[in-house]
């Protein structure tokens, strides 16, 4: 669902990592699409897919806010590794505050 919607939007997904209550997605967004529209489409498509899965009660919804950071090419690999290792960082309490902060948008 996520990758299909990303392909449809012409997004390049570099990596995805999650824990129980949130997900980190490192992706490249084409200039024709705003960050807000990108997030809206990804949240909408994934919520729809989750709510239509077998054994779903159809009540899944994302929180209203999100956080987005812009990174440069030199930081891309480090951020990808961080996102992919979400479970390890949260378990070992080695999270990076700037990557975990979420403000209501």
| Structural domain spans, the chain | 2-100
pTM of the shown model: 0.77
Q: Stretch 21-50: mean pLDDT, rounded?
A: 92
Domain spanning 2-100: which CATH class is it, in words? alpha beta
CB-CB contact of 9 with 71 (8 Å): no
3-state helix/strand/coil string of 35-75: HHHHHHHHHHHHHHHHHCCCCCCCCCCCCCCCCCCCCCHHH
Tens of pLDDT along 9-25?
Answer: 999 999 998 777 678 89
Q: Stretch 62-70: mean pLDDT, rounded?
A: 86
Between CA 103 and CA 75 the distance in angstroms is: 22
pLDDT of amino acid 57: 93
Q: Select from 32, 41, 97, 40 the least CA-distant residue to 69.
A: 97
């Amino acid at each position: 669902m996520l990758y299909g919607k990303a392909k449809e939007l012409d997004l390049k997904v570099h990596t995805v990592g999650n824990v129980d209550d949130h997900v980190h997605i490192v992706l490249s967004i084409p200039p024709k699409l705003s960050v807000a529209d990108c997030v809206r489409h990804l949240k909408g498509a994934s919520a729809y897919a989750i709510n239509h899965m077998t054994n779903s009660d159809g009540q899944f919804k994302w929180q209203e806010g999100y956080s987005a950071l812009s990174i440069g090419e030199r930081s891309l690999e480090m951020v990808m590794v961080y996102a992919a290792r979400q479970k390890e960082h949260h378990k070992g309490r080695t999270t990076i505050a700037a990557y975990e902060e979420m403000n209501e948008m």
